[in-house]
């Protein structure tokens, strides 16, 4: 399958049909598997071959189809599917780390990722050093004394600041560190993270891969050696595996992923342009805009795509931001992203509420900041709704 186009792989990659020849991928909603004989059970416990299953926490045919398909799309050797995006982040890091190791991480992180790095890892003797992800000099200085791993979001939430995967990977590899990239905002459609030097890529499949707000899921991608020797033993014994039903939802999500994400990105670009000219908007952050300070990096890293999220600052702080949200008629107020439905989030009072005002200021999260996850509705309806809500501010 590797020589086929991405959209062909998205529909056919990894499919294994049962004896019934079903068109749509089968959901093997089973936790266990019956053996033909006691000898077969014994042999499978000694060494399970490909397509030989023992227990759904270890592996399941529907989950394996999802893992094969997403690995093909990402250009990774292998993948392990997880119960959520956080199970993927935790699994990728904890499976490889031990007491005494050092991790260098970007400071701008999804709240739960920050919790793992700031609260959990240090409890077990792992030192974590935070840097400004966009500043290669800080990465270089922090990596100089050696590190086991680096972790960052390639496009930070909610400011959409990019981290240079290739640049950080060069520094990390020179220091002997593995590069783990949380690539949710870049999406599997625009990601070339493995080719750019990432050793492991993690996704919250809850976002664009499902893309229709139904299920939590995640995936860790990397070399076969890393996935099967490091990640799998940790995940299968600690219980963060993906359920077969979720894997089926995610498999169907992958079929339409590229169509949805390209439509969402086109609308996000139109919205970024439209709000840029509005008198109530003081700042627009969208890597697809020519005015974006990291436009050259976006060209190199994402083929010029700006992604499906637009962040912008409304003049007048929290009060103005709330007036904007409450005036929206089509766009919904929520905190998911990557969904078919367009979602407005006020990060300062929701996703980033836990941070101190100083921490928020340091990350560029002002009280007037709105994060817009753009869906697949008609572009002109979205632009009109957002402009009327801005006028209502």
Ligand X SMILES: *Cc1c(COP(=O)(O)O)cnc(C)c1O
Chain residues binding ligand X by CB under 6 A are: 84-86, 89, 110, 112-113, 153, 157, 182, 184, 204, 206-207, 216, 218
Structure tokens at 183: 């690539």
> Which of 174, 257, 185, 179 lies closest to 222 in space, CA to CA?
179
CB of 243 to ligand X, least distance (A): 13
User: Which residue is nearest to ligand X, using beta carbons?
Assistant: 85
Does residue 201 sit in helix, strand or coil?
strand
Tokens representing 12?
A: 């056919």
Nearer to ligand X, 204 or 301 (CB): 204
For residue 248, CA distances in Å to 50, 254, 375 come to 20, 10, 22
**CB 389, min distance to ligand X, A:** 24
Query: Which of 347, 368 has the CB closer to ligand X?
Result: 347
Residue whose structure tokens are 């992180």: 109
Of 123, 121, 166, the residue nearest 147 (C-alpha): 121
Residue 289 φ/ψ region, left for φ over 0, alpha for ψ in the -120 to 50 degree band, beta for the rest: beta
- Closer Cβ to ligand X, 187 or 230, answer by number: 187
Query: What's the closest the beta carbon of residue 44 comes to ligand X, in angstroms?
Result: 31
Nearer to ligand X, 201 or 284 (CB): 201
CB of 82 to ligand X, least distance (A): 9
- CB of residue 316 vs ligand X: minimum separation in angstroms? 27
Would you say 204 or 285 has its CB closer to ligand X?
204
Positions of E strands within the chain: 78-82, 102-106, 127-131, 149-153, 178-182, 200-204, 218-222, 281-285, 309-314, 332-333, 343-345, 369-373
Q: How far is the CB of 386 from ligand X (least distance, A)?
A: 22
- Smaller CB separation from ligand X, 9 or 265: 265
């Amino acid at each position: 399958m590797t020589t086929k186009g991405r959209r062909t792989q998205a529909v056919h990659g990894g499919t294994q049909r049962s004896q019934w020849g079903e068109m749509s991928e089968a959901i093997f909603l089973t936790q266990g598997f019956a053996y033909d004989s006691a000898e077969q059970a014994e042999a499978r416990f000694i060494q399970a071959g490909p397509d030989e299953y023992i227990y759904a926490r270890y592996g399941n045919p529907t989950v394996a189809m999802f893992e094969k398909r997403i690995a093909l799309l990402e250009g990774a050797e292998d993948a392990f599917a997880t119960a959520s995006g956080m199970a993927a982040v935790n699994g990728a890091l904890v499976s490889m780390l031990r007491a005494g190791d050092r991790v260098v991480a970007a400071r701008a992180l999804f709240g739960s990722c920050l919790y793992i790095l700031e609260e959990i890892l240090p409890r077990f003797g792992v030192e974590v050093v935070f840097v400004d992800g966009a500043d290669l000099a800080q990465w270089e200085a922090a990596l100089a004394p050696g590190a086991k791993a680096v972790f960052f979001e390639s496009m930070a939430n909610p400011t959409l600041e990019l981290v240079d995967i290739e640049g950080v990977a060069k520094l990390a590899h020179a220091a002997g560190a593995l590069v783990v990239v949380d690539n949710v905002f870049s999406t599997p459609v625009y990601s070339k993270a493995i080719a750019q030097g990432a050793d492991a890529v993690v996704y919250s499949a809850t976002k664009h891969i499902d893309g229709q707000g139904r299920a939590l899921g995640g995936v860790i991608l990397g070399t076969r050696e890393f996935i099967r020797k490091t990640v799998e033993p940790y995940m299968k014994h600690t219980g963060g595996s993906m359920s077969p039903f979720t894997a089926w939802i995610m498999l169907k999500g992958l079929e339409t992923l590229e169509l949805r994400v390209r439509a969402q990105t086109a609308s996000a670009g139109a919205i970024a342009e439209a709000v840029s000219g509005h008198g109530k908007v003081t700042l627009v952050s969208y890597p697809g805009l020519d005015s974006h300070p990291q436009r050259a990096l976006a060209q190199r890293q994402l083929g010029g795509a700006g992604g499906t999220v637009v962040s912008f600052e409304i003049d007048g702080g929290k009060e103005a931001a709330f007036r904007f949200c409450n005036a929206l008629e089509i766009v919904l107020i929520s905190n998911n992203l990557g969904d078919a439905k367009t979602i407005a989030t006020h990060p300062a009072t929701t996703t980033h509420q836990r941070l101190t005002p100083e921490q928020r200021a340091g990350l560029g999260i002002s009280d007037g900041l709105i994060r817009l996850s753009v869906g697949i509705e008609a572009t002109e309806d979205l632009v009109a709704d957002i402009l009327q809500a801005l006028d209502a501010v």
